[in-house]
Amino acid sequence: LISVSEAEDTTQPPPPSVVQHTTVNIHREMPKDHFIWSLCCFLYSNPFCLGLAALIHSVKARDRKVMGDIEGARAYGTTARTLNIISTVIACLSVLITIIIIAVVLARAAIHCGPKYSTK
């Protein structure tokens, strides 16, 4: 028989720790080149040649993506998106201001020209 004091002396070392490795696969999303939006801005609105600049940056982003330069493609794509946003906002504001000006001019013309041009 083993006494209690001997049992305490013969303690076994802890089992070796197991190292676990975790692999995380991160699928990075390919950057967008915004080519269609740039083409529409170039063909339809193109204020201050922003549509052309956006189209050029979109083509460069697509070229960089094909070459495998993801960060370069992301930079050109971000610039193309910014130019497209600015171009779209300027075009929408221009259309809105034009509609307001035409409405005001027609309203004043109807007041000054008398009843023969009114819609009643």
What residue numbers bound the domain in which 107 lies?
31-113
pLDDT score for 80: 97
Mean per-residue pLDDT for 77-88?
97
Neighbours of 50 (CB within 10 A): 23
pLDDT score for 20: 76
What does the block give as tokens for 41?
């801005």
What does the block give as tokens for 39?
């083409």
pLDDT band at residue 29 under the 50/70/90 scheme: confident
Decide if 20 is inside a domain.
Answer: no
Higher pLDDT, 64 or 17: 64
Separation of alpha carbons 106 and 101, rounded Å: 9
How many independent structural domains does the chain possess? Answer: 1
The one-character DSSP state at 17 is P
